[in-house]
Amino acid sequence: MFRKEDILKVGGYQHFYLLEDYWLWTRMINEGCKFYNIQNILVNVRGGAAMAARRGGWKYVKSEIKLQWQIWKMGLIGVYAFSRNIFVRFSIHMMPSSLRCFFYKKVLR
């Protein structure tokens, strides 16, 4: 949950191909908004092969690089983190969907 005034302060949701949430959170962090992950599970998201398929391909990689570049330009990450993020995310986004699905289910969960 977020405070509405914090969302409005940073310009609300803006188009950023499949990464709108990350772009919003980045701008909020840059403006000094506080974040905290509560320990209770409030939403049960079921991701499957379709979700994994959407998170791959060149268009997604280009959007991810653009996001990481913006985060670096804001000064929220350094060159090392930028490079690591690009390498790791590129590797995941360019693997076959079935392998990416396995990775999401078995490694990231």
User: Do 93 and 52 touch, CB atoms closer than 8 A?
Assistant: no
Please work out, in degrees rounded to the nearest 5, the angle formed at the alpha carbon of residue 102 by the alpha carbons of 98 and 105: 135
Rounded average pLDDT over 26-30? 97
User: Do 65 and 87 touch, CB atoms closer than 8 A?
Assistant: no
On the 0-12 / 13-18 / 19+ scale of CB atoms within 10 A, 104 is middle
63-107 pLDDT, tens digit each: 999 999 999 999 999 999 999 999 999 999 999 999 999 888 888
Question: How far is the C-alpha of 72 from the C-alpha of 13, rounded, in Å?
Answer: 20
On the 0-12 / 13-18 / 19+ scale of CB atoms within 10 A, 29 is middle
Predicted TM-score (pTM) of this structure: 0.88
